[in-house]
């Protein structure tokens, strides 16, 4: 959608420029249109995101939003799809039929790259998913305020009180019918191997009485090194949806083990099936 909006802006600007500088004077020079379109597309892109950047000046950079604003969430969704195109991702999305019809769920995934949420949000078009993220990411200029206003929650691992506040807000968010995601590894693996999960976060779906959507992501760790010259196939597979009834009487360690085992099984199966994952 962002590409379409910027392209329409560029077409309009190019047409007006040609009308006033060519049609009304010496006549239209048709070969100049592609050049003008490219120039105005770049200018429109800078203008569009420049306006969004200026809007962050009026946002509270430290505010934790209880109820996400739909407009900002929509801008994040459009931007992730644009970035998926920019990074030349060829996303293979499997088992999307398993996703709950409503948005009251807790999503977890393995974590290979900073591009993981971009790829995931690019294909989750029917659901608005926000994430619990490291507070350092949400403190970045421009993108930080946008993510916060869209409903992303900052997790400060060095401050137990703030961490508990975020967990309580996450539980409330899901109870209110909003989807929330997290990477239980806590950090990127930067490769095909998966780190051990931190199981404490699985208390969130227990308290929220919500199902867990288990997602396997693969091959995104390769993208940044080669996106300039080749497209990269990446896998996003819904492994399973664990019903609340299956977790309500389990320990968080048991839930974590089931989720991680499910992801590892999906990764092993996919790597045996697809040569481009090896």
* Main-chain phi, psi angles of 89, to 5 degrees: -85, 130
Given a contact cutoff of 8 angstroms between Cβ atoms, the answer to whether 180 and 174 are in contact is yes
In the chain, which segments carry CATH 3.40.1130.10? 64-277
Q: What is the pLDDT of residues 208-260, one digit of tens each?
A: 999 999 999 999 999 988 888 899 999 999 999 999 999 999 999 999 999 99
Confidence (pTM): 0.86
The percent of residues above 90 in pLDDT, for the chain, comes to 54
Put residue 242 in one of left, alpha, beta given phi > 0 → left and psi -120 to 50 → alpha.
Answer: beta
Pick the closest to residue 74 from 186, 175, 150 (CA basis). 150
Three-state secondary structure of 25-52:
CCCCCCCHHHHHHHHHHHHHHHHHHHHH
Distance, in Å, from the CA atom of 243 to the CA atom of 214, rounded to the nearest integer, reads 11
Confidence of residue 277 (pLDDT cuts 50, 70, 90): very high
Q: Please state which CATH number belongs to domain 64-277.
A: 3.40.1130.10
* Contact criterion met (CB below 8 Å) for 110 and 183: yes
């Amino acid at each position: 959608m962002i590409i379409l909006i910027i392209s329409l802006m560029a077409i309009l600007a190019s047409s007006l420029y040609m009308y006033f500088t060519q049609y009304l004077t010496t006549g239209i020079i048709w070969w100049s249109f592609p050049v003008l379109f490219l120039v105005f597309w770049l200018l429109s892109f800078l203008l569009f995101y420049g306006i969004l950047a200026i809007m962050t000046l009026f946002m509270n950079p430290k505010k934790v939003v209880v109820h996400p604003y739909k407009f900002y969430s929509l801008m994040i969704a459009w931007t992730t799809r644009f970035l998926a195109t920019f990074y030349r991702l060829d996303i293979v999305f499997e088992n999307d039929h398993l996703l709950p019809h409503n948005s009251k769920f807790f999503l977890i995934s393995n974590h290979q790259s900073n591009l993981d949420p971009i790829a995931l949000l690019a294909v989750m078009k029917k659901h608005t998913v926000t994430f619990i993220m490291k507070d350092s990411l949400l403190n970045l200029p421009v993108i930080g305020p946008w993510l916060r206003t869209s409903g992303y929650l900052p997790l400060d691992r060095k401050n137990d009180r703030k961490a508990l506040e975020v967990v309580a807000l996450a539980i409330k968010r899901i109870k209110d019918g909003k989807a929330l995601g997290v990477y239980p590894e806590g950090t990127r693996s930067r490769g095909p191997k998966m780190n051990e999960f931190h199981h404490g976060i699985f208390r969130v779906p227990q308290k929220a009485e919500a199902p867990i959507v288990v997602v396997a992501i693969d091959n995104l760790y390769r993208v940044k090194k080669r996106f300039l010259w080749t497209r990269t196939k990446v896998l996003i597979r819904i492994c399973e949806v664990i019903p609340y009834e299956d977790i309500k009487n389990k320990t968080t360690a048991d839930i974590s083990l089931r989720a991680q085992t499910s992801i590892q099984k999906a990764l092993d199966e996919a790597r045996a099936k697809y040569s481009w994952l090896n």
